[in-house]
Amino acid sequence: MANYDLKNEVNDKYSLRGRVFQKLREDILSGKYKEHEELKEVAIGEELGVSRTPVREAFRQLELEGLIQIVPNKGAYVTGITAKDVKDIYMIRSLLEGLCARLATEKITKEQMEEMEENIYLADFHASKGHMDQMAELDNRFHDILYEACDSKMLEHTLKDYHQYVLRVRQKTLSTNTRGRASNDEHRQIMEAIKAGDADKAEQLANKHMLNAYDNMVKNGLNEIYGEEASKE
């Protein structure tokens, strides 16, 4: 399914660099390239039938998104995420999504509010059917709507960065159906607070929503998966 509309920057998906970028991004998020794995310019270039130049530039973009780390004269490595990183991200997101919900209460447009309501309605349906993929997709979209609605490109950009960062983790911590329902209920409460113009409540709910999401990840074995990594530092 079309999971990246990410049109925040540009859609240069027709340039070679753009295609390499999207392919590598997908492969990293899907887990094809493991953490700390080295990405070699020629190998990837040959695999995709392009020269090193677009690959190198795609690397810089991936670094921009925090998916790889480039060490000069050495190589490009898939960024490792430790359990502590995930914890920190959710701590930060908790604050910022709260701020975002607060701002959105003032700034949200009618269209955005309608899409939000539709999103929640649809998620209810898919929850009842047990369609986990669609649930995940709608969850992503709900947060994107919220980011856009806050009318702050600085905040939107930071939140999208962090959101994208943790997509990889969801790959590993299986989200359960019960969490899917609970999450959507929280979305609904946030939406209703925004609709009612209660910025304080919206902020507080969005805040809690993130902490709950993190708690759920911990319950589902986050630390078991990333534990060894965390102990390294």
CB of 13 to DNA, least distance (A): 10
Three-state DSSP state, 75? strand
Tell me: does residue 70 bind its own copies (CB under 8 A). Answer: yes
Instruction: Identify residues 17-46 at the interface with DNA (CB under 7 A).
Output: 17-18, 38-42
Q: How far apart, in whole angstroms, are the C-alpha atoms of residue 85 and residue 80? A: 9
| 103 and 203 Cβ atoms separated by less than 8 Å | no
> Would you say 109 or 176 has its CB closer to its own copies?
109
> Would you say 158 or 212 has its CB closer to its own copies?
158
> Would you say 7 or 72 has its CB closer to DNA?
72
Alpha helices in 69-221 (DSSP H): 83-107, 110-129, 132-149, 153-172, 177-195, 199-219
Instruction: Identify residues 49-108 at the interface with DNA (CB under 7 A).
Output: 50-54, 56-57, 70, 72-76
Instruction: Identify residues 168-187 at the interface with its own copies (CB under 8 A).
Output: none
Helices 153-172 & 83-107, crossing angle to 10 degrees?
A: 140
> Would you say 77 or 162 has its CB closer to DNA?
77
Alpha helices in 31-131 (DSSP H): 41-48, 52-64, 83-107, 110-129
Which amino acid is located at 36 in the chain? H
Site string for its own copies, 150-169 (x = CB under 8 A): --xxxx--x-----------
Any bridge partners for residue 71, and if so which?
A: 75
CA angle, corner 12, sides to 65 and 68, nearest 5? 20
Which residue among 35, 63, 124, 198 contacts its own copies (CB under 8 A)? Answer: 63
Binds 110: which of its own copies, DNA, none (CB < 5-8 Å by kind): none
DSSP assigned state of 36: T
CA torsion, ordered 147, 149, 150, 153, to nearest 10 deg: 60
Tell me: does residue 95 bind its own copies (CB under 8 A). Answer: yes
User: Which span sits near its own copies by CB under 8 A: 23-31, 124-132, 149-157, 212-220?
Assistant: 149-157
Q: Residue 58: name the closest of 158, 109, 50 by CA.
A: 50
Binds 180: which of DNA, its own copies, none (CB < 5-8 Å by kind): none
Which spans of this chain sit near its own copies (rule: CB under 8 A)?
1, 3-4, 6, 8-12, 15, 18, 56-57, 60-61, 63-64, 69-73, 77, 84-85, 88-89, 91-92, 95-96, 99, 152-155, 158, 232
Which spans of this chain sit near DNA (rule: CB under 7 A)?
12, 15-18, 38-42, 50-54, 56-57, 70, 72-76
